[in-house]
Structure 1
């Protein structure tokens, strides 16, 4: 008789469990809000102290890397602007990189960080800052950004599928953040137009090209490439393929940690290409996966945690990507690019949408299977891959990049 009541008992227990979990989440959010408000108050009070106009705080990808445009600007200023005090804002989980390279750093959200950020004359970052950190009036905020947009950005996105937010909140947060920027770097005229609209940004845009790409145009790039290959212990006689995909908004563990299932058949690629090629896998900084490449030892290398992707560009003979903006940068090297777009209909139609027709304008073929990738590489002539379409793409998207971008940015901002 009582068995028929068991489902109701289970249902009641489930409701209690769900209620308990919700209460825990609400409690955490409440504590987080209190911490943030306290930090905001302290930050505001410290900001009333005399500013240090020569103090510059750098940050790359939420403090996770020593890389990208902030790195190029930092390295230029270290040599050419010795009167400035230069520090990196870093996530405390990534201190080893900065220790090994002997880069001066301050841990994000520490007391020292709070004092330096609130008194700094300049902030230089390539991603957004937490909105609960108020920008002092004396601080010049240089937003370098981190790519030419193929995927729709900010106000141009129809729907947002990221965890922890919704479309309206995401766009509002982006709008409030861009109010703080004093300078924004653009890699080309195409990006300038999109940045103005998508970020609703009406202050100064520096049409200089990206500082991070100066290295790709350096007369020393061949020598540097050999050094990097030796550092990574790659076979010097083999060609290098770089696989650098982006993340998927709707595949995640939690806010800021995204899933990625590598769709390449590495076993088949190793069998068909292993004698002449190695492949480097570089996941997006938001992807939380740990790749297990032990079965492909000597052929596939996980370079997701390598300090800066620009080094990987230099040593790569071929780039395979999907919808990542990496191909705009890689095009500066005039090397072949292959687009592995197995989910293009979903990505274009449901997740982000594109600013231009990738099939018509991509500087390389689009493929959807590993077999097609292998066939393309086998028939590839690395010396004669350039064509009229590649030239047209380069003229349109790389026209600001002359190897002088960093000097131009520093000259405009740090007078």
Structure 2
């Protein structure tokens, strides 16, 4: 049994949430039993390894291989794949693509549909503070705003000119291929998108609440963020009009972020996991 997890963590998770206001103690109590079933845990980065062990209560083998899901960001034919994704979504060739992908909020959890053992907490209510429609209108023609809800979040994304809901698109990494800029908040997708070298903006309207009350961070996010921390939709729109200057301003932070937290991904993660499995084959 191989646990590939889903990326390097930015917000605290698992057992490290036991002392927080919104901890799901029913779920946390199942973690030791779940992790005991794994033969090997695949870590996406050396930074993530101790966090995964501690937060998941895992004492077994860890394979520091990188994230297999991110291999799609590296092959020589990634441009061809990107063209296929754009064409499949109907995005004009000359459009600049803005991907808005926020994480969920623990305090917006909804009651589960049925009682019993759950694979993970949630679901959570879709209640974004950023208005994708207003953002698309502010950016004007020549832009497409892609909106991707976190998989644990339920609720519809309002349709509108220049806005496309890609919440059900298979594989977030394929969307990263076509995004010219990422707008997020505290999503672990930050580490994956950093592999592209493209600009990131952070909509951190509730930073103090998220940091001090809801979840907290696995790193000093305010110091290490590889892009500007913004509060309003207007600030995000203004920043998107001048990402070149912002990228230059945050170039050193971006590079150090990639060096310290994205050290294993190189396009060969899946092969390393396969090699590890084949090493045990009869």
Q: After TM superposition, is the score higher than 0.5? A: yes
1:371 aligns to what? 234
Matched, 1:319 2:182: yes
Superposed CA deviations along residues 293-329 of structure 1, whole A, max 9, x for unmatched, are 1xx23x0000011111111100000001111100100
1:273 aligns with 2:139: yes
The question of whether the paired residues in 2 share the 8 Å contact of 1:240 and 1:279 is answered with yes
**Distance (Å, rounded) in 1 between the aligned partners of 2:29 and 2:137:** 50
Q: Do residues 355 (structure 1) and 218 (structure 2) align?
A: yes
Task: Show CA shifts across 1:197-216 (max 9, x none).
Answer: 22222211010100111110
Distance in 2 separating the partners of 1:309 and 1:248: 19
CA distance in 2, matches of 1:263, 1:390: 25
Write out aligned runs for 1:1-400 (5 A): 141-157=1-17, 158-159=19-20, 161=22, 166-167=24-25, 169-255=26-112, 256-293=122-159, 296-297=160-161, 299-381=162-244, 385=248, 387-400=251-264
Number of residue equivalences: 268
User: TM-score scaled to structure 2, two decimals?
Assistant: 0.90
SS at match of 1:206: strand
8 Å contact 2:103–2:187 — kept in the other structure? yes
Cα distance in 2, alignment partners of residues 266 and 195 from structure 1:
33
| Counterpart contact for 1:336–1:382, Cα < 8 Å | no
Residue 248 (structure 1) shift: 1.1
Q: Distance in 2 between matches of 1:236 and 1:268?
A: 23
Q: Conserved in 1, the CA contact under 8 Å of 2:126 and 2:156?
A: no
Q: Are the equivalent residues in 1 in contact too, given 2:78–2:177 (CA < 8 A)?
A: yes
Alpha-carbon contact 1:160-1:170 (below 8 Å) kept: no
* 8 Å Cα contact 2:21/2:213 also seen in 1: no
Q: State the alpha-carbon separation in 1 of the partners of residues 169 and 65 from structure 2.
A: 27
TM-score of the aligned structures, taking structure 1 as reference length: 0.62
Helix, strand or coil at the partner of 1:381: helix
What corresponds to 1:74 in structure 2?
none
Q: Is the 8 A contact 2:239 2:246 kept in 1?
A: no
The offset of 1:268, in angstroms, is 3.3
Change (3 A) 1:210 1:204: same
Could you tell me which runs of 5 or more consecutive residues in structure 2 were left unpaired when the two chains were aligned. 113-121
Deviation at 1:382, TM superposition (A): 8.5
Q: Distance in 2 between matches of 1:319 and 1:208?
A: 25
Long gaps (5+) in structure 1: 1-140
The secondary structure found in structure 2 opposite 1:193 is: helix
Partner Cα separation in structure 2 for residue 252 and residue 201 of structure 1: 26
Contact 2:133/2:163, CA 8 A, preserved across alignment: no
Could you tell me which residue of structure 1 aligns to residue 116 of structure 2? none
How far apart are the structure 2 equivalents of 1:267 and 1:408? 42
Distance in structure 2 (CA, Å) of the matches to 1:269 and 1:323 = 19
CA shift in 2, pair 1:394/1:217, >3 Å: same
SS of 2:154's equivalent? coil
Counterpart secondary structure, 1:402: coil
Q: What is the CA–CA distance in structure 2 between the aligned matches of 1:264 and 1:188, rounded to whole Å?
A: 30
Shift of 1:344: 1.3
Q: Which has the higher contact order (CA 8 A, sep 6+)?
A: 2
- Tell me the residue number matched to 1:120: none
Q: Is the 8 A contact 2:136 2:145 kept in 1?
A: no
Q: How far apart, CA to CA, are the structure 2 residues paired with 1:181 and 1:329? A: 24
**SS at 2:30's partner residue?**
helix
| Mapped partners of 1:143, 1:257: distance in 2 | 22
> Is contact 2:227–2:246 with CA below 8 Å preserved after alignment?
no
| Offset, 1:368 | 0.7
Query: Tell me, what secondary structure is at the counterpart of 2:274?
Result: helix
